Chains A and B, each alone.
Chain A
């Protein structure tokens, strides 16, 4: 392509109107082409596209339903586990409560038994102390009586009637005890 060709072509005198007016054969073939593309698009392309969209929508819906079912099953399983767990906790609480109650009653029983035993031991000790005191007093009384008889014999210098003196001393001791008690 030489510059002369460009210049000559540009200088060629021609009205610009032919640019705005459509070429008749191009217009007719354009119309035919558009009718053909509309036909092809609506007979083949759009049905294929809509079918693909429909299939995908169905697949998505089906997967959503499956997911929903799986979720429902998982929730049911979780509820079941939760129920079992709650029951276990409740049962453990009951067992602990029963154990606590048993322990409390056992403790009370042990305390009661210990208190009873302590009371028995105290009572027995008191009784033993009382009998020991009585025995000691009796022995002291007899010792005093004997001593007083010995002393009286030494003072009087003669053998006195032992049984008479015995009665006398015991009477004296009893009076002494009574006075002491008053």
Chain B
């Protein structure tokens, strides 16, 4: 079983449809995307756990990196945006940030080269979870007036409410989760397609016209875009976590 799973993870696609089409390779609909989810889950856990498994007064280099990143999510995202109640939502924000980070970084991980978040499943699931969380927080904190305060801004003339209420309702309760999911998904799939195009072009020139050095041009682009995609992977994990915190905060302190 181990060898086929490994083969799936490091699989070289046989045709371009594999950018989007992932048939199940194991029971219960487990395909390469699901295997990579499991791998990301394992890597995320080991990344956060291993440096602190043995109690040490002076942390290892890896421990310092993990500690800095966790403190960044705790303080730089959760506490700075949500405020004193931020600790209640760390259970969501910390695993989300690191899980997304590794899922995104699979895009440029050698032998994997596939961002799991370029499939809609995880962005959609996490956006749904964020939606449920911020609506639940708002209702728990303010009751039904949360809905009313979210869709009726103060000081708007009554005739305009006919327009404003549907717009605010759509923007808060419909567009937010969709934009959250699509932003992540679109960024990652765009990067993945760009990398695939440039690497395939490089391979085509190299295989069919090896004497011409033209393959160097798409290769140079592919290298630059790989570096850029590392940045995008980190940025998208950050943005998703940051917006989650912003939505939770807007439910706690609904201003209207």
Residues on A lying within 8 angstroms of B by beta carbon are: 1, 3, 5-6, 8-10, 12, 18-31, 33-34, 36-38, 40-42, 44-46, 48-49, 51-53, 55-56, 59
Which stretch, B24-32, B218-226, B234-242, touches the partner chain A? Answer: B24-32
Q: Mark B1-33, 1 if CB is under 8 A from A, else 0.
A: 000000000000011110010101000111101
The winner among A26, A27, A34, A44 for most chain B CB atoms within 10 A is A26
Q: A9 near B120 (CB under 8 angstroms)?
A: no
Binary interface encoding of chain B residues 51-63 relative to chain A, with 1 for a CB under 8 A from any of its CBs, else 0: 0110111010001
A52–B45 CB distance below 8 A: no
State whether the Cβ of B41 lies closer than 8 Å to any Cβ in chain A. Answer: yes
Q: Which residue of B lies closest to A41 (CB)?
A: B95
Given A1-B15, A37-B45, A45-B48: A22 touches B119 (CB 8 Å cut-off): yes
Set A5, A6, A25, A53: member contacting B34, Cβ < 8 A: A25
Answer yes or no: B66 CB below 8 A from chain A CBs. Answer: yes
Asked whether, in the complex, the Cβ of A52 is within 8 Å of the Cβ of B56, the reply is: yes
Docked-complex contact B45 and A45, CB < 8 angstroms = yes
**Which chain B residue shows the least CB distance to A20?**
B120
User: Knowing A52-B59, A55-B57 touch, does A25 contact B49 (C-beta < 8 A)?
Assistant: no
- Chain A residue at smallest Cβ distance from B126: A34
In the complex, chain B residues whose CB is within 8 Å of the CB of A42:
91, 95
- For A1, the chain B residues whose CB sits under 8 A away are 14-15, 203
Chain B residues contacting A18 (CB-CB under 8 Å) are: 20
**Least CB distance, B88 to chain A, in whole angstroms:** 13
- CB of B122 closer than 8 Å to a CB of A: yes
B121 in contact with A30 (CB, 8 Å): yes
User: Chain A's interface: helix, strand, loop or mixed, by majority?
Assistant: helix
Confirm or deny: B99 has a beta carbon within 8 angstroms of a beta carbon on chain A: yes
- Identify the closest chain B residue to A24 (Cβ): B29
CB pair B120–A19 under 8 Å, yes or no, is yes
Residues of A within 8 A of B67 (CB): 49, 52-53
Q: Which residues of A contact B38 (CB under 8 A)?
A: 29, 33
| Distance from A65 Cβ to chain B, minimum over Cβ atoms (Å) | 15
Q: Is B72 an interface residue (CB 8 A)?
A: no
In the bound complex, do residue A22 and residue B120 qualify as a contact, i.e. CB atoms below 8 Å apart? yes
Q: Tell me if B125 and A31 are in contact (CB < 8 A).
A: yes
CA A56 – CA B33 in complex, angstroms? Answer: 40
Judge whether A59 and B44 touch: CB under 8 Å: no
Residues of A within 8 A of B30 (CB): 25, 29
Cα of A20 to Cα of B118 in the assembled complex, Å: 10
Q: Does B189 contact A (CB under 8 A)?
A: yes
Q: Would you give the shortest CB distance from B40 to chain A, in whole angstroms?
A: 7
Select one of B94, B125, B129, B204 contacting A3, CB under 8 A. Answer: B204
Residue of B nearest to A47 (CB): B52
Q: Determine how close the nearest CB of chain A comes to the CB of B205; give it in whole angstroms.
A: 11
Known A42-B95, A56-B59; further 17 A-B contacts with Cβ < 8 A? A6-B16, A9-B16, A18-B20, A22-B124, A23-B29, A26-B22, A26-B122, A27-B125, A34-B41, A34-B96, A34-B122, A34-B129, A37-B95, A38-B95, A41-B44, A45-B48, A51-B55
Inter-chain contact A48/B121, CB cutoff 8 Å: no
B34 touching A29, Cβ below 8 Å:
yes
B-side contacts of A10, CB under 8 Å: 16
A45 CA to B203 CA, complexed, in Å = 42
Q: How far is the CA of A44 from the CA of B14 in the complex (A)?
A: 40
